[in-house]
Amino acid sequence: MNVDKAVIPAGGYGTRFLPVTKAQPKEMMPVLDRPTIQYVVEEAVEAGIDDILVITGRGKNAIEDHFDRSYELEAELEKSGKDDRLERVREITDLADIHYIRQQDRAGLGAAVQYAEDHVGDEPFALLLGDNFIESSTPSIENLVDVAEDREESVVALERIPWEEVPAYGIADVADTSGRSYPVDDLVEKPTREAAPSNLAIIGRYVFTPEIFDRLDETERSARGELELTDAMRELSAIRGTEIEGDRYHIGTVPDWLEANIRMALRHDDGQLNETVRRTIEDELDRGNGGV
Ligand code: G1P
């Protein structure tokens, strides 16, 4: 089996990030100099997947504009001889072969994935959530693709998270976590801490065989009225989990986004930027701000 298509759901309302997401997609929130979704597209491309379907919706036009040509801007940069900036603008457009579909029924992640069926057809595909990205030496999705191609099964990326964060994630029940990948026995979406079978969380990277579309069709909406991808995954004939290494940045809420920017700025020594962030934090802490 060969995985050569990726799907990025980006149709959610981003309600946990209001009001900034009222007129702007959550996936366009910047981390340093790029919108979050660009890191996600780059991850897929680095893993050798350049056929990408983005599931968008009303109010998400900025995503399409970002990856589209901007003739006026390019002409302007060319005229003023700003070659390095021109190159960076063009790089975005040349990144991948990006397709879009607008989600009408915004009833959860499972409903978003259903919109991909026509594009991916009867083939396996990678799924990368558009509101988080992972920095690692090998693109995280590549690890999943390797396992999926080797085992011919669906694969989900897992990470051990602090127990207090468990209610915000889909959680896996796994009997034996030895080995590079292992069978997942069961999954539960956003359990209470007490009900959670483990602290192994689904972190938004998956590879699915086309069987997922049949399972989604059979899945009933959850108590919160959403078609949960996790519920459909429970019914797959087989699914493996694999833990991936790297730094994960989740852009779900203001604290998440702030943390992502600070961590990225400190880790990517970009001339003055790193120093400015470090000095600002130290100054604020010295002045007794920041809750200390
Ligand atoms: C979604 C999934 C959940 C997963 C999470 C990772 O939840 O439903 O299983 O753990 O992404 O970010 P959301 O954060 O969209 O509520």
Question: What ligand 1 atom has the least distance to the C-alpha of 250?
Answer: 12
Contact 115/221 with Cβ under 8 angstroms? Answer: no
- Model pLDDT for residues 207-226, shown as the tens digit of each residue: 999 999 999 999 999 988 89
Quick: pLDDT tens for 156-192: 999 999 999 999 999 999 998 888 999 999 999 999 9
Ranked by mean pLDDT, the top range of 136-140, 230-234, 249-253 is: 230-234
CATH C-level class of 5-157+201-252:
alpha beta
CB 235 within 8 Å of CB 184: no
Give how far the C-alpha of residue 6 lies from the chain's centroid of Cα atoms, to the nearest Å. Answer: 11
- For residue 232 and ligand 1, the question of a CB distance below 6 A is answered with no
3-state secondary structure of 243: strand
The answer to whether the CB of 110 is under 6 A from ligand 1 is: no
pLDDT in the model for residue 148: 96
pLDDT digits (tens, 9 = 90+) for 262-273: 999 888 876 677
Return the pLDDT at 129: 95
pLDDT in tens, 48-77: 998 999 999 888 999 999 998 888 888 888
How far, in whole angstroms, is CA 21 from its chain's centroid?
Answer: 17
- Spans of all domains in the chain: 5-157+201-252, 253-292
Report the C-alpha dihedral over residues 64, 66, 69, 70, rounded to 10 degrees.
120
Give the torsion through C-alpha atoms of 157, 115, 224, 36, to 10 deg: 50
